[in-house]
Amino acid sequence: MPQAIHIVGAPIGLGAGKQGVDLGPNALRYARLAEQLAGLENPILDKGNVPLASISDPGPEPRLRCLPTIAAFCATLAEWVADSVAAGALPLVLGGDHSLSIGSVAGTARGRELGLLWLDAHGDFNTALTSPSGNIHGMSLACLTGQGHPDLIGLAGRVPAIQPRHVALVGIRDLDPPERDALKASGLHCYTMQDIDRRGMAAVMDDALAVVGAARDGFHASFDLDVLDPREAPGVGTPVPGGISYREAHLAMEFISVTGKLRSLDLVEDNPILDDRNQTAMLGVQLILSAFGKQIL
């Protein structure tokens, strides 16, 4: 029987530096996500959007902007995801900024040894001590591997939520200097755009999926749309030239599908305010379909 897919909207933008990313979940829905997923014969349940407190106060921690609200939101999101996993479904979380992955990954990781595939232009491996902005969406991967504020690192019921040896970053090309040093010392497996240019996306994905697939209980995939070249995905808040192409992105998602080990997926950082006629959301939907088994033939 095809596995049920539970769609969860995560309309949070407080972890980012620009307005509009909170509109991403509904932009993806407007691009006919549920209808097209249903065409793959998976049972679909749209659970709606996780509620977000209407608080824009940056909070008491200037180097952790909006920490109380983000922590509470991620804790609720983790519960929604954990409930879907317990029901035998595969959670598909729609962002929203990348801080949401602190909750989405933690929810799937509860009681499990989970791998983590992180497709992103950025490392998201800053902490409050290294972040130049204080934006938590640039700290999410560090939190999931045990480095961060106590309110953010324990949502899986243990610290770290993910063991560094089970993490693979793909497509990174824009790192802050302290973040670069931290990644070199972290034990995470990093595949930069130079690796993709030299070796090709297929070889890089083979290696990355071997890393995350070695975890006993499958893996979570987190796809930040800014891993794509801005010519492909203009509707993101932190575009970086020189990203992966349309076909490289689909190939990555097709490789994910073939493993049969995907346990949850989030697609983040779609910002309709910065987009051109919703093309980034429409591309995001097509990439999701590839991850769930859509084939050319």
**CA count, 13 A, side-chain hemisphere, 71:** 16
Per-domain boundaries in the chain: 5-291
Active site residue 79: no
Active site residue 174: no
Q: In the structure encoding, which two tokens stand for residue 249, read together?
A: 């992105």
Q: In the structure encoding, which two tokens stand for residue 96, read together?
A: 């929203």
SS3 134: coil
Asked whether the predicted pLDDT for residue 231 surpasses 90, the reply is: yes
Q: Would you say 23 and 31 are in contact if contact means Cβ atoms under 8 Å apart?
A: no
CATH of 5-291, one of 3.10.20.740, 3.90.1150.10, 3.40.800.10, 3.40.50.2300: 3.40.800.10
Q: Would you say 38 and 79 are in contact if contact means Cβ atoms under 8 Å apart?
A: no
Active site residue 269: yes
* pLDDT value for 53: 79
The pLDDT tens digits for 158-215 are 999 999 999 999 999 999 999 999 999 999 999 999 999 999 999 999 999 999 999 9
Asked whether the predicted pLDDT for residue 59 surpasses 90, the reply is: no
Whether pTM exceeds 0.75: yes
Give the residue-averaged pLDDT of 249-260.
98
Catalytic, out of 6, 22, 97, 137: 137
Asked whether the predicted pLDDT for residue 20 surpasses 90, the reply is: yes
Catalytic, out of 22, 97, 124, 248: 124
Top pLDDT among 19 and 272 is at: 272
Q: How far apart are CA 175 and CA 224, in angstroms?
A: 15
Active site residue 124: yes
Q: How far apart are CA 21 and CA 63, in angstroms?
A: 21
Q: How far apart are CA 141 and CA 160, in angstroms?
A: 11
Asked whether the predicted pLDDT for residue 57 surpasses 90, the reply is: no
* pLDDT value for 2: 78
